A and B are shown apart, each in its own frame.
Chain A
Amino acid sequence: MKKTGAQILCESLVKEGVEVIFGILGGAILPVYDTFPQYPQLRHILVRHEQGAAHAADGYARATHKAGVCIATSGPGATNLVTGIANAYMDSSPIIAITGQVARPFIGKDAFQEADITGITLPITKHNYLVTDTRELAKTVKEAFYTAQTGRPGPVLIDIPKDVQQEKAEFVYPEKVDLPGYKFVSRGHSVQIKKAAKLINKAERPVIIAGRGIIISQAFGELKELAEKAQIPVVNTLLGISSFPGNHILNFGMMGMHGTAYANMAVQNADLIIAIGMRFDDRATANTGGFAPLARIIHIDIDPAEIGKNVPVDIPIVGDVKNVLRAINKGIELREHLDWFSQLDQWRYEHPLLETRQGDELLPQYVIHQIYEVTKGDTTVVTGIGQHQMWAAQHIVYTKPDSLISSGGLGTMGFALPAAIGVKVGRPEEMVWCIDGDGSFQMTIQELATITQENIAIKIAIINNGYLGMVRQWQELFYERRYVDTKLWNPDFVKIAEAYDIPGIRVRHREEVIPAIQKAIDHPGPFLIDFFVKPEENVYPMVPPGESISRILEMPKPELVSSY
């Protein structure tokens, strides 16, 4: 039977097992929206800005390990998705972005709300499509879901002209895709795997750098087996956090610009780096010129183009992390590395991270750590970008696999709130904490309406220091305290929440922190806490931009007086 393009799209989404779509409508996508009531199994969540739809789809994808879908109209609707698509691209998150386009006869005529969205998103999508033939629509959706979710995941955009949505065609959903140019290697090369195992077995000072690839591949057990069997310390990239238990004796925390001193020291003194599912981002490696000077490097990644892109490697292994680790683990001998660990433990003792000051002012590190203490880690944390994000990376112990969701590569302020919506929709039983900065929060604050309309029970913690804090920190440290345009006038976030029918509370003092967090947890719906924290607190340790990760700025010592 013939169906309209809009029906074909919906049928195809159902075939792909889609349950939720985040979006906002407009003229060029109306035929699709008009069809939604025929498909009650597709839940549509109406956002307030398309960027929110893309981030929510991204959060959903990260939370569920299946493609997140967002939808928007042509022109400004489509261009508003761009930041969210770029964010998903940088962090290898599988989202499907569906955009309406002006009808085919109008394409290229600068019609009302026309934008060349396939041209615009060319460098920030894994692939994109402009569907000009209704008979190709089902096949296109099939290909889009396949490419987005396999190999190195990533965003795929499908641009559908309005008259294609309206035109009728025969609906046949293809069983298979035919993509001669699309390939990925999922099993590592056996010779390379043998070489890697051999190197691991004879290493004296090995370090594992665990990246987001482990989470994508869900290779938690395999990573743990390797680390425990060969007794190798594990450090994480930002997005690798929660790939390995935070309370594990072998976990040495995050590396990089705001990594622990001992994680960076481990990397810099290692004789072997086993880099797993990570891409040697400059925030993790700092200046690559001075990176891990003593180490040979094994690099495991599913994307061959990541091999040797930023750092030369000795043993590249292209393949799915889970498969590769399984194969490597077979050749691993039991080791102890006692000397290496006594050195590492000394560094850990000399350069503690989980220490902060007692004082009158409310410290953001304390606040964030208490979220961990009160929840006992049984929560998924979603962050925005900036100081609060780094503190959330440092001061929460991620004991549960896959429990931190953050914008890493693109560093998109405004990610937290809409992403947390997506995470909560994807993990309805999970407690979801959205930890955001006052600057970051205001970039997508309008999604509070989405939360209320859809009753998304997330807990929002605003780490409010009245500044664009991370930028202010850079101004303090590298621009002689010239705080140009980083001071924020803020609205009353509790009243804002109230206006959106979300209960909220302001916290100014240390003793109010735990009760407030408990109150948020006890409340069945969404809840907001506005934490007024010390305005000029810095994130330490810090490797100054452009420097080698050996040059670590730590918190000025006299201030370190007590632990939590």
Chain B
Amino acid sequence: MTDTKHTLVALVEDKPGVLNRVASLFRRRAFNIESIAVGHSERPGLSRMTVVVNGDFAQVEQVRKQLDKLINVVRVSDITGEDIVARELALIKVKATASTRSEIIQIVDIFRANIVDVASDSLTVEVTGDEDKVESLLELLRNFGIKEISRTGRIALTRGGVA
């Protein structure tokens, strides 16, 4: 079977060390985490974690089951095949001069991204979207010279009613 990117979404208890337990499990089972994002969920005391991993179905299923065994993991599902909304936030600090500034702003507008900070020699762009959108914008901005990037990694929910 071929490796594909899988999105796992886990509802975890909001307790010290839980992120460590999850990360440690991936390391122990020799799995590379592409990205991991975690924050409060709609339920008090529970956080929602989105983990993107590469692997074939059997491997990812094995990791999902191992995750599910962690006492602090309340529920975990592989939502890869499902109808999902997935987003990522990136902050990109790009070099800007008087002559390039307006061109950068135009590109940012096309992507419906925002300028969140302006300095004499740079602009900081905030972009939200799926990875493709973030990558495309990055590709275009690379020509101007990128000073720093910070990305959150994917967060995702299934569309429609709550499972």
Q: Name A's B-contacting residues (CB within 8 A).
A: 118-119, 122-123, 126-127, 130, 147, 179-182, 303-305, 307-309, 312
Identity of the chain B residue whose Cβ is nearest the Cβ of A179 in the assembled complex? B71
Residues of A within 8 A of B69 (CB): 303, 305
- Extra inter-chain contacts (7) besides given A127-B71, A130-B16, A305-B65, CB under 8 Å: A122-B20, A123-B28, A181-B13, A181-B72, A182-B71, A308-B58, A308-B62
Report the bound CA distance from A258 to B25 in whole Å: 32
B74: Cβ under 8 A from any A Cβ: yes
Identity of the chain B residue whose Cβ is nearest the Cβ of A305 in the assembled complex? B65
Can you list 18 A-B pairs, Cβ within 8 angstroms, ordered by A? A118-B17, A127-B70, A127-B71, A130-B16, A179-B71, A180-B13, A181-B12, A181-B71, A181-B73, A181-B75, A303-B69, A304-B65, A304-B68, A305-B65, A305-B69, A307-B65, A309-B62, A312-B58
Beta-carbon contacts under 8 Å, B1-44 to A: 12-13, 16-17, 20-21, 24-25, 28
Residues of A within 8 A of B65 (CB): 304-305, 307
Check if B24 sits within 8 Å of A122, measured CB to CB: yes
Report the bound CA distance from A307 to B58 in whole Å: 11
Residues of B within 8 A of A308 (CB): 58, 61-62
Check if B61 sits within 8 Å of A181, measured CB to CB: no
Report the bound CA distance from A147 to B72 in whole Å: 12
Closest CB-CB distance, B60 to chain A, in whole Å? 12
Among A122, A147, A179, A305, the residue within 8 A (CB) of B66 is A305
Closest CB-CB distance, B42 to chain A, in whole Å? 15
Work out how many contacts link A and B, with CB atoms closer than 8 A: 40
Query: What secondary structure prevails in chain B residues at the interface with A?
Result: helix
Residues of A within 8 A of B62 (CB): 305, 308-309
Check if A119 sits within 8 Å of B74, measured CB to CB: no
Residues of B within 8 A of A304 (CB): 65, 68
Residues of A within 8 A of B74 (CB): 180-181
Residues of A within 8 A of B25 (CB): 123
Residues of B within 8 A of A127 (CB): 70-71
Check if A122 sits within 8 Å of B71, measured CB to CB: no
Closest CB-CB distance, B63 to chain A, in whole Å? 9
Query: Which 3 residue pairs are nearest across A and B when measured between Cβ atoms?
Result: A305-B65, A181-B74, A127-B71
Residues of B within 8 A of A179 (CB): 71
Residues of B within 8 A of A307 (CB): 65
Residues of B within 8 A of A305 (CB): 62, 65-66, 68-69
Report the bound CA distance from A18 to B122 in whole Å: 67
Knowing A304-B65, A308-B61 touch, does A122 contact B21 (C-beta < 8 A)?
A: yes
Closest CB-CB distance, A126 to chain B, in whole Å? 8
Per-position binary interface string of chain B over residues 73-86, scored 1 when its CB falls under 8 Å from any chain A CB and 0 otherwise: 11100000000000
Report the bound CA distance from A446 to B66 in whole Å: 38
Residues of A within 8 A of B24 (CB): 122-123
Residues of A within 8 A of B12 (CB): 181
Residues of A within 8 A of B17 (CB): 118, 130
Report the bound CA distance from A182 to B75 in whole Å: 10
Residues of A within 8 A of B71 (CB): 126-127, 147, 179, 181-182
Report the bound CA distance from A119 to B16 in whole Å: 12
Closest CB-CB distance, B68 to chain A, in whole Å? 7
Closest CB-CB distance, A151 to chain B, in whole Å? 9
Report the bound CA distance from A127 to B70 in whole Å: 8
Residues of B within 8 A of A122 (CB): 20-21, 24
Report the bound CA distance from A179 to B72 in whole Å: 8
Report the bound CA distance from A122 to B16 in whole Å: 13
Identity of the chain A residue whose Cβ is nearest the Cβ of B72 in the assembled complex? A181
Report the bound CA distance from A66 to B59 in whole Å: 34
Report the bound CA distance from A304 to B63 in whole Å: 11
Closest CB-CB distance, A155 to chain B, in whole Å? 13
Closest CB-CB distance, A97 to chain B, in whole Å? 16
Report the bound CA distance from A312 to B1 in whole Å: 14
Closest CB-CB distance, B85 to chain A, in whole Å? 25
Report the bound CA distance from A180 to B12 in whole Å: 10
Residues of B within 8 A of A180 (CB): 13, 74
Report the bound CA distance from A308 to B66 in whole Å: 12
Closest CB-CB distance, B30 to chain A, in whole Å? 12
Residues of B within 8 A of A147 (CB): 71
Report the bound CA distance from A147 to B70 in whole Å: 11
Residues of A within 8 A of B58 (CB): 308, 312
Closest CB-CB distance, A313 to chain B, in whole Å? 12
Report the bound CA distance from A304 to B69 in whole Å: 9
Closest CB-CB distance, A176 to chain B, in whole Å? 16
Residues of A within 8 A of B68 (CB): 304-305
Check if A119 sits within 8 Å of B28, measured CB to CB: no
Identity of the chain B residue whose Cβ is nearest the Cβ of A143 in the assembled complex? B71
Report the bound CA distance from A223 to B44 in whole Å: 46
Report the bound CA distance from A506 to B70 in whole Å: 50
Closest CB-CB distance, B149 to chain A, in whole Å? 31
Report the bound CA distance from A305 to B72 in whole Å: 16
Identity of the chain B residue whose Cβ is nearest the Cβ of A303 in the assembled complex? B69
Report the bound CA distance from A147 to B66 in whole Å: 16
Identity of the chain A residue whose Cβ is nearest the Cβ of B61 in the assembled complex? A308
